[in-house]
């Protein structure tokens, strides 16, 4: 069988040409990277878990009317997605102070925030994805004001959905990142949630014990990453049967 055309290879995923026009195949690798790829490892089974978990979250979002690129899972490591034009901005939503914001503003990790805080980061590996404001985004033409309004609205709806799903299984959604793409249907354009939603892109803390169940386990050497992700999958009832 002919190998599909590779469109793009990132740190944790590969995008291939899809079977129909307007589609792509998203392949989940086992690679884990942190600190702009300074730290790298291969974690057996991570790709399988993230494929399942991203399927679970994206399917749920589609069902509640939050549009995403996800069409269907193809196999253990691949899913069929809608092709879209990725806006070069990562949108982060924070409910609890942690990570770079806790450090930047000198707030103790774990401090609940008065309301969800939305931040933008410019997607540029060479610069280490710097924090940017709406002014930068508008002035440099990375997205229009309408796009920004739509990105914030999408991000907050994702936050409501994910927070609810996680709380129900005893997990606090501390923060997360989404990527957003422009999807064209004829002359009509809308923004959709793209990339992945998984413990690679969220901070997830056990509500009772504070145990980290996300990529911080890898970033900070807190234990076995695959065990942490398996625990999230187990609680959500999305354990891979053949993994």
Q: What is the token pair recorded at 45?
A: 């089974």
Q: Which stretches of the chain are DSSP H helices? A: 46-63, 99-105, 134-139, 145-167, 216-219, 225-236
Of the pair 40, 190, the CB lying nearest ligand C5P is at: 40
The size of the interface with ligand C5P (CB under 6 A), counted in residues, is 14
Q: Do 103 and 111 form a contact (C-beta atoms < 8 A)?
A: no
Closer to ligand C5P at the Cβ: 17 or 231? 231
User: Does 92 help bind ligand C5P (rule: CB under 6 A)?
Assistant: yes
- Nearest to ligand C5P of 201, 226 (CB atom): 201
Cα within 13 Å of Cα(131), Cβ side: 8
Smallest gap from Cβ 129 to ligand C5P, in A, equals 5
d(CA 243, CA 234): 13
Q: Which residue in 129, 147, 197, 226 binds ligand C5P (CB under 6 A)? A: 129
* Spatial distance between the Cα atoms of 47 and 8, rounded to a whole number of angstroms: 17
Q: By CB under 6 A, is residue 203 in contact with ligand C5P?
A: yes
**Which CB atom, from 98 or from 148, has the smaller least distance to ligand C5P?**
98
Among 33, 59, 100, 211, indicate the residue that binds ligand C5P (CB under 6 A): 100
- Nearer to ligand C5P among residue 79 and residue 201 (C-beta): 201
Which part of the chain contacts ligand C5P (CB under 6 A), choosing from 6-14, 65-73, 160-168, 175-183?
Answer: 175-183
What's the sign of the alpha-carbon dihedral 169, 45, 39, 26? negative
Residue 180 binds ligand C5P, judged by CB under 6 A: no
Q: Does 202 bind ligand C5P (CB under 6 A)?
A: yes
- Answer yes or no whether residue 195 interacts with ligand C5P by CB under 6 A: no
Classify each residue of 162-193 as buried b or exposed e, where b means 16 or more C-beta atoms within 10 Å of its C-beta: bbebbeeeebbbbbbbbbbbbbeeeeeeebbb
**Is residue 155 at the binding interface for ligand C5P, with CB under 6 A as the rule?**
no
Beta bridge partners of 202: 176
Which residue's entry shows tokens 């710097």? 130
What are the DSSP E strand ranges found in the chain? 6-9, 13-17, 23-28, 31-34, 39-42, 70-73, 78-82, 85-96, 112-122, 131-132, 171-185, 188-194, 202-206
From the list 39-47, 54-62, 91-99, 230-238, the region that binds ligand C5P by CB under 6 A is 91-99
Q: How far apart are CB 155 and ligand C5P at their closest, in Å?
A: 11
| For ligand C5P, the closer CB: 18 or 200 | 200
Binding footprint of ligand C5P on the chain (CB under 6 A): 90, 92, 98-101, 129, 175-177, 201-203, 215
């Amino acid at each position: 069988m002919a190998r599909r055309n590779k469109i793009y290879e990132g740190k944790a995923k590969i995008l291939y040409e899809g079977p129909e026009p307007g589609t792509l195949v998203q392949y989940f690798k086992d690679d884990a990277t942190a600190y702009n790829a300074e730290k790298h490892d291969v974690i057996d089974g991570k790709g399988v878990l993230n494929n399942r978990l991203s399927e679970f979250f994206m399917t749920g979002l589609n069902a509640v009317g939050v549009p995403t690129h996800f069409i269907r899972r193809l196999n253990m490591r691949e899913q069929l997605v809608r092709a879209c034009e990725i806006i070069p901005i990562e949108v982060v939503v924070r409910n609890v102070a942690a990570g770079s914001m806790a450090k930047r503003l000198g707030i103790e990790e774990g401090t609940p925030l008065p309301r969800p805080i939305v931040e933008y980061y410019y997607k540029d590996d060479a610069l280490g994805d710097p924090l940017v404001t709406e002014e930068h985004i508008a002035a440099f033409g990375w997205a229009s004001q309408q796009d920004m309004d739509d990105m914030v609205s999408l991000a907050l709806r994702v936050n409501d959905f994910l927070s609810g799903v996680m709380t129900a299984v005893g997990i606090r959604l501390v923060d997360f990142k989404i990527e957003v793409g422009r999807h064209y249907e004829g002359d009509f354009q809308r923004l959709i949630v793209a990339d992945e939603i998984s413990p690679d892109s969220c901070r997830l803390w056990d509500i009772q014990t504070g145990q980290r169940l996300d990529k911080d386990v890898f970033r900070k050497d807190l234990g076995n990453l695959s065990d942490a992700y398996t625990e999230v999958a187990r609680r959500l009832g999305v354990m891979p049967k053949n993994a």
